[in-house]
Chain A
Amino acid sequence: MLAYLIKRLGLALAVICTVVLVLFSLLYLIPGDPATIALGPRATPEAIARYAERMHLDEPIWRQFLIYIGNAFTGDLGVDIFSERPVTAIILDRLGFTLALVCAAMGWAMLIGIPLGCLSAVMPNTAVDRITGVLSVSTIAIPSFLVSIWALLIFAVELRWLPAIGAGEPGETLDQLSHLVLPAFAVGLSWVGYLARMVRASMLEVMGETYIRSARAFGLRPRKVVFGYALRVAILPTITLIGMGFGGLISSTVFAEIIFARPGIGKLIFDSVMARNFPVVQGGVIVATTLYILVVLISDILIAWFDPRVRESL
């Protein structure tokens, strides 16, 4: 297990470094002076000079990269061009909104999707199963940003049940929760479909195993067999699915934040792209990617913990 852990951690670090390298080299792949490109046409000569000094632009490129990555690991991601605030502080301000949205979306999707998958698996080929099947395919196929726009249109603009934009007044929990409902609904909807499908497929497989038959033969109640025995094993592939789908989850979070004007990381990156505030874009993308890699890492380690065969394969 330890050997696997070390290999897996090394791999995660390598991927993060690659992402930083790609982001860093993007600046140099475009012809022209890096400082001018990064700061955009509106930057003053003083700002360009300051940026050139901060990024050590007079040094060779490989040294600039080492300096940047060294700073990034100590938590220094540079400063905002306009406000001169440290990028790290700006991101930390916003990170909570994104994490809350991701957790809320995933939470309600699991709460609905997993039982729905169990239900379909327990009664395969019935009307309930067929309807669940069509609904999960449909929720997976419908683009999540469209769900966001239509949810905004129906529940905020037409019905006025829920607030449309922002994240609520700081400190007022109820207000913040009411601002969380629509984005979480939109981001989580396709996951209800994914989870229901995945759980159904792996449950059907597990329900055919002999130990389930034995449990039944011992006269355990069906509820106990399904939730106590089958689901415990069948849930494993779902953990992998969550890890692998987390990139998509971040993408739909970015859309939801922009559409509902929620001040998270996605909105921050988007606004900075529009304002050509490249240090903030760079920092935001690095943080979002690191978040993604961490989730994949955790899901991989969990799987290896549960299933010893996986440890051998890396």
Chain B
Amino acid sequence: MNRFETQTGQPGIDASGLPEHLSEDEVRESAARERREKLRMFLTNWQGVTGLILVTLFFASAIFAPWIAPYDPNALDIPSRLVDPSLEHLAGTDQLGRDTFSRILYGGRVALKIAAIGVSVALVSGLILGMIAGFGPRWLDNLLLLVFDTVRAFPTIVLALATVALTGPSLELVLAIVIITSIPQYARVTRTATLSLKNTDFILAERSLGAGMPRMLWHHVMPNVIGPLMILAAMEVPVVVTVEAGLSFLGLGVLPPTASWGTILNEGYLVIRDTPWMVVAGGVPLILTTLGFTFLGEALRDIFDPRMGKGR
């Protein structure tokens, strides 16, 4: 930015639009004060704090699963099959006598893996497509918008069922479906932000200095959209985790004997008349994770980007 200060030539206003009498230190301090204020707002927001705790719990239990789990998640113990929760088996055992608590911990690893890969790939692709739509020619913008709208509202599960009918179930398929259906969300947010930045003075200035398109997008547009995108990513994690669990529940995603919350629910559903504990144990982590990420995302959005949400 320093380069522009001499070139704008307007007295009293530098390129950042701040009055000249503020020294750099003062600006820096007011920014720090604002950060402290935001942090305080976040820490006094009970939804945000609950969300943060649940999300931390999700990450920690998935990462440290091998050390926390009391049993091997695939170790069979037929004599003690379908036992109720006790101190020995915290969440009971399943129809093959496997420890459900250990399987939940390992199932969290599958959910984390899908969420991490799915959300990051979709975020990057959505960012690129959204910037193309925002900066590209009008017809391309319209075409991409149409595609985004169609894909976004398409019945995901129906699409997944049709594909599985031909390819058979697999983890890669779940990932592909998750990524394709969530790209439009990121692309839409990026496109809107790009469009509003397109004609701002600093972009025009950069353009008149001869900056190429990649430089403008990378250095100027991206830093401005990455914040809202990260919040959106937090809100998308529940969707991704739900799709994985849902497809695995139908037997179309993660295949047994691999533990996933979906497969635990599926096996529990088959024995629901014998024991309620498996569907309860498979559902609780799923609900805690979706609620945690939603609460966290909502709190972050309320604090950092009040315009983004129309609702609360």
Please list the residues of chain A having a beta carbon within 8 angstroms of any beta carbon in chain B: 11, 15, 18, 23, 26-27, 30, 37, 133-134, 137-138, 140-143, 145-146, 149-150, 152-153, 157-158, 197-198, 200-202, 243-248, 250-251, 254-255, 258-259, 266, 269-270, 272-273, 276, 278, 281-282, 285, 288-289, 292, 296
Contact = CB atoms under 8 A, between A and B. Distances in A.
B242 A143 contact: yes
Given A157-B272, A258-B250, A30 B167 contact: yes
Interface string B69-113: 000000000000000000000000000000000000000000000
Given A37-B166, A134-B47, A145 B246 contact: yes
B279 interface: yes
A251 B252 CA distance: 14
A138 B291 contact: yes
B155 A251 contact: yes
B283 A149 contact: yes
Contacts of B159: 285
Contacts of A134: 47
Nearest to A23: B162
Contacts of B290: 141-143
Most chain B beta-carbon contacts within 10 A, residue among A133, A143, A244, A266: A143
Contacts of A11: 146
B162 A26 contact: yes
A27 B295 CA distance: 42
B311 A149 contact: no
Contact of A269 (B47, B161, B280): B161
A276 B312 contact: no
A288 B162 CA distance: 11
B168 to A, nearest CB: 10
B286 A273 contact: no
Interface in B153-181: 153-159, 161-167
Given A137-B47, A201-B312, 11 more contacts: A11-B146, A145-B246, A146-B265, A152-B272, A157-B272, A251-B158, A255-B250, A269-B158, A272-B165, A273-B161, A278-B165
A314 to B, nearest CB: 10
Contact of A30 (B166, B245, B265, B276): B166
B155 A250 contact: yes
Given A134-B47, A157-B273, A141 B153 contact: no
Contacts, number: 134
B294 interface: yes
A23 B159 CA distance: 9
Contacts of B287: 141-143, 146
A105 to B, nearest CB: 15
A140 B311 CA distance: 13
A143 B286 contact: yes
Contacts of B134: none
A202 B280 CA distance: 37
Contact of A201 (B166, B273, B311): B311
A272 B242 CA distance: 23
A285 B158 contact: yes
A256 to B, nearest CB: 11
A198 B153 contact: no
Interface in B255-312: 265, 268-269, 272-273, 276, 279-280, 283, 286-287, 290-291, 293-295, 298, 310-312
Contact of B158 (A158, A288, A296): A288
A150 B279 contact: yes
Nearest to B245: A143
Given A157-B273, A247-B154, A140 B279 contact: no
A15 B245 CA distance: 29
A133 B242 CA distance: 22
A63 to B, nearest CB: 22
B249 interface: yes
A113 B156 CA distance: 25
A205 to B, nearest CB: 9
B39 to A, nearest CB: 22
A198 B246 contact: no
Most chain A beta-carbon contacts within 10 A, residue among B163, B252, B291, B311: B311
B312 A270 contact: no
B95 to A, nearest CB: 16
A133 B312 contact: yes
Contacts of B245: 143, 145-146
A198 B311 contact: yes
Most chain B beta-carbon contacts within 10 A, residue among A158, A246, A251: A251
Contacts of A142: 287, 290-291
A26 B242 CA distance: 25
Contacts of A153: 272, 276, 279-280
A35 to B, nearest CB: 13
A270 B161 contact: yes
B1 to A, nearest CB: 37
Nearest to B162: A285
Contact of A281 (B154, B161, B238, B246): B161
Contacts of A273: 161-162, 164-165, 252
Contact of B153 (A276, A288, A296): A296
Q: Which 10 A-B pairs have the closest CB atoms?
A: A250-B155, A251-B157, A141-B294, A143-B242, A197-B311, A247-B153, A273-B165, A247-B155, A201-B311, A141-B290
A272 B164 CA distance: 11
